[in-house]
A and B are shown apart, each in its own frame.
Chain A
Amino acid sequence: MKILLLITLFSVSTLSFAQCTGRVDDKTVMMFMDMNNSALEISAAQRAACARGQKLLVIPRNHQQYNQLTSVVQNDMKSYERCLGTGGNCERQQATYMASYQRLETFKGTLPSAREQLTTELTAMKASGSKLVNFTISGHDGGGTYSGHKGEISRGDIGEVMAAFPEVNNVKSVMLLGCYTAVPNEVIHWKQSFPNAKLIAGYDGIAPASDKLAGHQYLEDLLRREPTILAQADQSRLNSFLRNNVRGLSLMNVGVYVELECVGPNKLYYGLDDQSRGIRSLDISECNGKEEIVGKIAADITRYYEGESEPPTDTANGELRRIYNQGRRYEHCGAHLNREYSMEQAFNLLFYNGIKNNFAKYYGNDLARAGEMIGTITPEEVTAPYLEAINTLEDQITMQSELAALTGNKDEFLAYIARKEADLEARKSAAATGIQDLIAGTKQPTTFDQAIKLQAYQSLAAIGDQYAMYREAINSSPAEDVKATLEQISGMGREQQASMRLTMAQLSAHPEEYNVWIPNAENLARKTRKETLENIHRMETVSKMPGLSPRKLIALKWLNQVSSYHLQVMENPFSWHEYTGRMPEKPLGADNLNFDSWMKVAGDAQ
Chain B
Amino acid sequence: MRTLILLFCVSFSALADDPKAILLEKDASSPELEKDHTVQKVLPPRKILPARAEREQFFTDNWKDGLKDYDELEKDLLYMDLRHKTILELKQKYPELSAKELEELKTKRK
Say whether A272 faces chain B, with CB atoms less than 8 Å apart.
Answer: no
Q: Are A343 and B8 in contact (CB under 8 A)?
A: no
Contact A485 to B21, CB < 8 A, known contacts A344-B48, A544-B16, A589-B42: no
Contact A489 to B5, CB < 8 A, known contacts A462-B11, A592-B40: yes
A317-344 interface code vs B (CB 8 A; 1 in, 0 out): 0000100110011011000000000011
Residue ranges of B at the interface with A (Cβ–Cβ < 8 Å):
1, 3-5, 7-9, 11-12, 14-24, 40-43, 45-49, 52-53, 71-73, 76, 80, 84
Q: Are B7 and A465 in contact (CB under 8 A)?
A: yes
Say whether A385 faces chain B, with CB atoms less than 8 Å apart.
Answer: yes
Q: Are B8 and A493 in contact (CB under 8 A)?
A: yes
Which residue of the partner chain B has the closest CB to A347? B49
Residue ranges of A at the interface with B (Cβ–Cβ < 8 Å):
280-281, 321, 324-325, 328-329, 331-332, 343-344, 347, 350, 385, 389, 393, 396, 445-448, 451, 454-455, 458-459, 462, 465-466, 469-470, 473, 477, 481-482, 485, 488-489, 492-493, 496, 543-544, 546, 553-554, 557, 561, 565, 569, 571-575, 588-589, 592-593, 598, 601
Which residue of the partner chain A has the closest CB to B75? A328
Q: Are B45 and A593 in contact (CB under 8 A)?
A: no
Q: Are A571 and B45 in contact (CB under 8 A)?
A: yes
Which residue of the partner chain A has the closest CB to B73? A324
Q: Which residues of A contact B46 (CB under 8 A)?
A: 571, 588
In this complex, the member of B8, B23, B71, B72 whose beta carbon has the largest number of chain A beta carbons within 10 angstroms is: B8
Q: Which residues of B contact A598 (CB under 8 A)?
A: 22
Least Cβ–Cβ distance between B104 and chain A, in angstroms: 22
Q: 8 pairs across A/B with beta carbons < 8 Å?
A: A321-B71, A329-B72, A469-B4, A496-B12, A543-B21, A546-B16, A553-B18, A589-B43
Partner pick for B8 among A446, A489, A565, A571, CB 8 A cutoff: A489
Q: Are B1 and A325 in contact (CB under 8 A)?
A: no
Contact A459 to B7, CB < 8 A, known contacts A350-B73, A448-B20, A589-B24: no
Q: Are A462 and B14 in contact (CB under 8 A)?
A: yes
Contact A592 to B24, CB < 8 A, known contacts A328-B73, A575-B84: yes
Q: Are A601 and B48 in contact (CB under 8 A)?
A: no
Q: Are A451 and B24 in contact (CB under 8 A)?
A: no
Partner pick for B15 among A389, A473, A492, A593, CB 8 A cutoff: A389
Least Cβ–Cβ distance between B110 and chain A, in angstroms: 17
Least Cβ–Cβ distance between A164 and chain B, in angstroms: 38
Partner pick for B4 among A321, A485, A565, A573, CB 8 A cutoff: A485
Closest 3 CB pairs of A and B: A328-B72, A574-B48, A325-B72
Cα separation A281 to B52 with both chains bound (whole Å): 12
Cα separation A546 to B18 with both chains bound (whole Å): 8
Q: Which residues of A contact B45 (CB under 8 A)?
A: 344, 569, 571
Least Cβ–Cβ distance between A234 and chain B, in angstroms: 14
In this complex, the member of B16, B24, B45 whose beta carbon has the largest number of chain A beta carbons within 10 angstroms is: B24
Contact A557 to B1, CB < 8 A, known contacts A462-B14, A588-B46, A589-B42: no
Q: Are B53 and A281 in contact (CB under 8 A)?
A: yes
Q: Which residues of B contact A492 (CB under 8 A)?
A: 5, 8-9
Q: Are A561 and B24 in contact (CB under 8 A)?
A: yes
Least Cβ–Cβ distance between A601 and chain B, in angstroms: 7
Least Cβ–Cβ distance between B6 and chain A, in angstroms: 10
In this complex, the member of A328, A492, A544 whose beta carbon has the largest number of chain B beta carbons within 10 angstroms is: A328
Contact A451 to B20, CB < 8 A, known contacts A493-B8, A588-B43, A589-B43: yes
Cα separation A573 to B46 with both chains bound (whole Å): 9
Q: Are A573 and B48 in contact (CB under 8 A)?
A: yes
Partner pick for A344 among B4, B5, B47, B80, CB 8 A cutoff: B47
Q: Are B4 and A473 in contact (CB under 8 A)?
A: yes
Q: Are A473 and B48 in contact (CB under 8 A)?
A: no
Q: Are B24 and A477 in contact (CB under 8 A)?
A: no
Q: Which residues of A contact B9 (CB under 8 A)?
A: 492
Q: Are A325 and B71 in contact (CB under 8 A)?
A: yes
Cα separation A469 to B73 with both chains bound (whole Å): 69
Which residue of the partner chain A has the closest CB to B19? A451
Cα separation A406 to B14 with both chains bound (whole Å): 30
Cα separation A455 to B80 with both chains bound (whole Å): 52
Which residue of the partner chain B has the closest CB to A553? B18
Q: Which residues of B contact A493 (CB under 8 A)?
A: 8
Least Cβ–Cβ distance between A453 and chain B, in angstroms: 11
Q: Are B15 and A458 in contact (CB under 8 A)?
A: no
Contact A462 to B21, CB < 8 A, known contacts A329-B72, A389-B15, A588-B43: no
Q: Are B49 and A343 in contact (CB under 8 A)?
A: yes
Q: Are A466 and B72 in contact (CB under 8 A)?
A: no
Least Cβ–Cβ distance between B77 and chain A, in angstroms: 8
Q: Are A396 and B8 in contact (CB under 8 A)?
A: yes
Contact A324 to B72, CB < 8 A, known contacts A389-B15, A588-B43: yes
Q: Which residues of B contact A573 (CB under 8 A)?
A: 48
Least Cβ–Cβ distance between A460 and chain B, in angstroms: 11
Contact A546 to B8, CB < 8 A, known contacts A571-B46, A592-B42: no
Cα separation A376 to B89 with both chains bound (whole Å): 44
Q: Are A344 and B49 in contact (CB under 8 A)?
A: yes
Contact A470 to B4, CB < 8 A, known contacts A324-B73, A445-B20, A462-B11: yes
Q: Which residues of A contact B4 (CB under 8 A)?
A: 466, 469-470, 473, 485, 489
Contact A389 to B7, CB < 8 A, known contacts A331-B52, A573-B48, A592-B24: no
Q: Which residues of B contact A455 (CB under 8 A)?
A: 14, 17, 19
Q: Are A473 and B24 in contact (CB under 8 A)?
A: no
Cα separation A389 to B42 with both chains bound (whole Å): 36
Q: Which residues of A contact B21 (CB under 8 A)?
A: 543, 557
